[in-house]
Amino acid sequence: MKELSIFKGKRVLVTGHTGFKGSWLSQWLLELGAQVTGLALAPLNDQEHFCLAGLEKHLDHQVCDIRDLNGVNQVFAKAKPEILFHLAAQPLVRYSYEAPKETFDTNVGGSLNILEAARRSPNLGAVVFVTTDKCYQNQEWHHGYRENDRLGGHDPYSASKAAAEILFQSYLRSFFDQNPEIGLASGRAGNVIGGGDWAKDRIVPDCIRALAQGNPVRLRNPKATRPWQHVLDPLFGYLKLAARLYENPKAYPDAFNFGPAISSIQPVGRLAEAVVEAWGSGKLEISQDPNAVHEATLLHLNCDLAYQKLDWEPVWGFERAVKETTLWYLKQHQGQSVPELTQTQIKTFTQDLK
Which of residues 18 and 282 has its CB atom nearest to ligand NAD in the complex?
18
Work out which of 4, 192, 219, 321 binds ligand NAD, going by CB under 6 A. Answer: 192
Query: Interface with ligand NAD includes 158 (CB under 6 A)?
Result: no
Query: Interface with ligand NAD includes 40 (CB under 6 A)?
Result: yes
**Minimum CB separation from ligand NAD for residue 283, in Å?**
27
**Minimum CB separation from ligand NAD for residue 6, in Å?**
23
Work out which of 10, 13, 21, 204 binds ligand NAD, going by CB under 6 A. Answer: 21
The window from 60-68, 135-143, 247-255, 328-336 that contacts ligand NAD (CB under 6 A) reads: 60-68
Residues 56 and 71: their CA atoms lie apart, in Å, by 19
**Minimum CB separation from ligand NAD for residue 214, in Å?**
27
Work out which of 6, 12, 22, 35 binds ligand NAD, going by CB under 6 A. Answer: 22
User: CB nearest ligand NAD: which residue?
Assistant: 19
Residues that bind ligand NAD (rule: CB under 6 A) add up to a total of 24
The window from 3-11, 62-70, 143-151, 342-350 that contacts ligand NAD (CB under 6 A) reads: 62-70
Question: Among candidates 247, 232, 231, 225, which has minimal Cα distance to 300?
Answer: 225
Query: Interface with ligand NAD includes 210 (CB under 6 A)?
Result: no
The window from 19-27, 206-214, 296-304, 326-334 that contacts ligand NAD (CB under 6 A) reads: 19-27
Question: Among candidates 349, 156, 150, which has minimal Cα distance to 255?
Answer: 150
**Minimum CB separation from ligand NAD for residue 31, in Å?**
18
Query: Interface with ligand NAD includes 65 (CB under 6 A)?
Result: yes
Which of residues 90 and 326 has its CB atom nearest to ligand NAD in the complex?
90
Query: Interface with ligand NAD includes 228 (CB under 6 A)?
Result: no
Query: Interface with ligand NAD includes 322 (CB under 6 A)?
Result: no
Which of residues 34 and 235 has its CB atom nearest to ligand NAD in the complex?
235
Count other C-beta atoms under 10 Å from residue 296's C-beta: 10
**Minimum CB separation from ligand NAD for residue 187, in Å?**
9
Query: Interface with ligand NAD includes 75 (CB under 6 A)?
Result: no
Chain residues binding ligand NAD by CB under 6 A are 16, 18-22, 40-41, 65-67, 87-91, 106, 110, 130, 132, 189-192
